[in-house]
């Protein structure tokens, strides 16, 4: 979802960040973006305790624990 937020058309962006003015088409995209400014990280890896701003970032991180080493 986060990658999708960055690729959405630049038209009709009605959700604007009160910190930097960046605008988004979807409220969820603004919510995730706002965490950059507030340093809010609600998604924690149970294996190493590292925290992330978005569930998709955590999902990508989890691959580092399960990747095969050749």
Residue spans of the domains in the chain: they are: 2-38
pLDDT of 69 higher than 80: no
8-state DSSP, 39? T
Q: Report d(CA 23, CA 63) in Å as an integer.
A: 31
H helix intervals, the chain: 2-7, 27-38, 55-66
pLDDT at residue 12 in the model: 72
Tell me the per-residue pLDDT of 17-68, one tens digit each, with 9 for 90 and over: 999 999 999 999 999 999 999 999 999 999 999 999 999 999 999 999 987 6
CATH class belonging to 2-38: alpha beta
Q: What is the pTM of this model?
A: 0.66
Give the number of other Cβ atoms within 10 Å of residue 30's Cβ: 19
Name, in order, each residue with C-beta under 8 angstroms of 63's C-beta and a sequence gap of 6 or more.
none
Burial, 39: exposed, middle or buried (Cβ in 10 Å; 0-12, 13-18, 19+)? exposed
């Amino acid at each position: 979802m986060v990658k999708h937020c960055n690729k959405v058309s630049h038209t009709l962006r009605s959700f604007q960040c009160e910190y930097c003015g960046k605008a988004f088409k979807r409220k969820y995209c603004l919510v995730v973006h706002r965490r950059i400014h507030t340093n809010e990280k609600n998604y924690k890896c149970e294996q190493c305790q590292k925290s992330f701003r978005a569930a998709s970032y955590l999902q990508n991180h989890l691959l580092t624990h399960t990747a095969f080493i050749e």
